[in-house]
Amino acid sequence: MARASITIFGIILVTAFMAVMVILVSLVTAGGDTTHKVARIWAKCVLALSNIKVSVKGFSNLKPGRSYIYMANHMSNFDIPVLQAYLPVQFRWLAKAELYRMPLFGYAMKRADYISIDRSDRKSAIESLNKAVNIIRDGVSVVIFPEGTRSNTNNVQPFKKGGFFLAVDSGVPIIPVIIHGTGRIMPKKKMLIKPGNVTLEIKKPINSSDYTRKTKDDLMKKVRAVILDSFELNKNNGVLC
């Protein structure tokens, strides 16, 4: 317990310091690329403090210079630093509005050009998705947790449809991403961090231009099937998710 408390305190300090750095950097740079790199340093510091080692599978599935919509399963708060540190591309988060209300951290996310989506406000959510479409068309990728929030169980939850509207409207391929191991490291609603190993698995792109708003549910089922197959395979093989 003492070790966990020290780790959490260290993460809070690093997060506060790096949030200030993101804000300061954003005042002298434009576009969000540099602030995203600063956020990547934050993520690697958080993982190092927590003694979490990450391995990545599927780098070869990424085409350099191509924008994608990355969709990942969501088991833990640590999914965020894992993706931030080890997804080797420039991207912007499409994240729930609650995160942007956090003191300092939320403002840093805004200054990094990450995108807030308020699912309780349909008009605001549509505006957020339109902003994401424009960012993608400018050649920057977007990362989404299609479940919308962390899972309370060791299972993948049903997907929300917003990210699939984004995919069919932009015509950008979706890359399913499966994160294995973070659920054990820090389960939802528990202030406990266990050191461990995480695998970030990057799957092949799924073409969204073959789908429309009317057939987006078929695209959602296809992406979900890819994530579920890998997730369940690892769970059945004894890999803690």
pLDDT per residue as tens digits for the range 25-72: 999 988 788 999 999 999 999 999 999 999 999 999 998 888 999 999
Distance CA 98, CA 178 (A): 24
Mean pLDDT of the chain: 88
Q: Which has the closest alpha carbon to 77: 187, 177, 179?
A: 187
H or E element at residue 92? strand 91-96
DSSP string, 134-167: HHHHTT-EEEE-TTSS--SSSSPPPPPSHHHHHH
- Lowest average pLDDT, out of 30-34, 38-42, 103-107, 221-225, goes to 30-34
- Lowest average pLDDT, out of 61-65, 135-139, 141-145, goes to 135-139
Confidence label for 101 from pLDDT (cuts 50, 70 and 90) = confident
What are 198's strand-pairing partners?
Answer: 54
- For the cut 60, the answer to whether the pLDDT of residue 240 exceeds it is no
